[in-house]
Amino acid sequence: MKIAVYQSGSDAVIDKPTRIACLAQRAREARDAGAELIIAPEMYLTGYNIGRDRIIQQSERLSGESLSAVADMARDIGIAIVIGFGELGEDGRNYNACALFDKTGKRRLLHRKIQLFGDLDRTCFAPGNNMPLVIDWNGIKVAMLICYDVEFPELVRSIALKGCDLLLVPTAQMAPFDRIAEMMVPVRAMENQLFLAYANRCDQEGELNYVGKSVICAPWSDLARAGDQDCLIIADLDFDALEKSRKEFPYLRDRRPESYFGLLGDV
């Protein structure tokens, strides 16, 4: 199975229709290269560091016009799409969210960022409080996290224990945190024995410089990695090799939770 990551840059600080058009162009390129799924960055539809007022103004319900356009895009182009956006929840709260639409345009997954990052997130969003779902998609088990979420090993491990094969992570990783993309993300893939796709930006937004370095990881190596330019990266995921790796590195099987159960409790 081939998947693609869209590292965005040239479409920064522009309107939603233009962002959607840029994504559609990349989605066609990914499909033509044989990819079954494309992942766009965190808060792709609106921008991320644009201030609370603009975030609130541009956030949408799940039935909103822009998300409907992305669903139509997935169906018309024939590729699954993961997109980051500001969600106006039915509870009236605003969430930093991402959704997976399959190639029929059906929304299969929704994730609300659990670990909010500093005032940038906390002044604009409520935290998601539901553990990430793991679903069957195209014969594999898939889950999503957003940016800072993946830096908490408990979240990724909980997904791995549910049998996740492929973890999709839209992000807006900025300087000076380059080592997250360079070091921590590959380690998450290895210690949990799953594929991990990390989709970042490579532009500037206000005082934030996004570092790029998007990556698609296997437990044993990086399969594709971007530099600091707007681009599409594509990798072929070998699930037979993943099963072999899980036997050679049986971290999940060899866990002894009875010896450290308190680590995840209120201690």
Please give the positions annotated as active site: 42, 113, 147
Please measure the distance between the N-terminal and C-terminal CA atoms of the chain and give it in whole angstroms: 42
Q: Is 41 in contact with 8 (CB distance < 8 Å)?
A: yes
Query: What is the rounded CA–CA span in Å between residue 181 and residue 224?
Result: 12
**CB contact set of 234 (below 8 Å; sequence gap of 6+):** 2, 3, 4, 5, 30, 33, 34, 35, 216, 224
Q: Is 7 in contact with 41 (CB distance < 8 Å)?
A: yes
Q: Is 201 in contact with 12 (CB distance < 8 Å)?
A: yes
Label residue 57 exposed, middle or buried (CB < 10 Å: 0-12, 13-18, 19+).
exposed
Q: Is 190 in contact with 220 (CB distance < 8 Å)?
A: yes
Is 144 strand, coil or helix?
A: strand
Residue with the two structure tokens 């609300």: 112
Between the alpha carbon of residue 167 and those of residues 175, 194, 241, the distances in Å are 23, 7, 16
Q: Is 121 in contact with 172 (CB distance < 8 Å)?
A: no
- Bridge-based pairing state of the strands 166-170 and 140-144: parallel
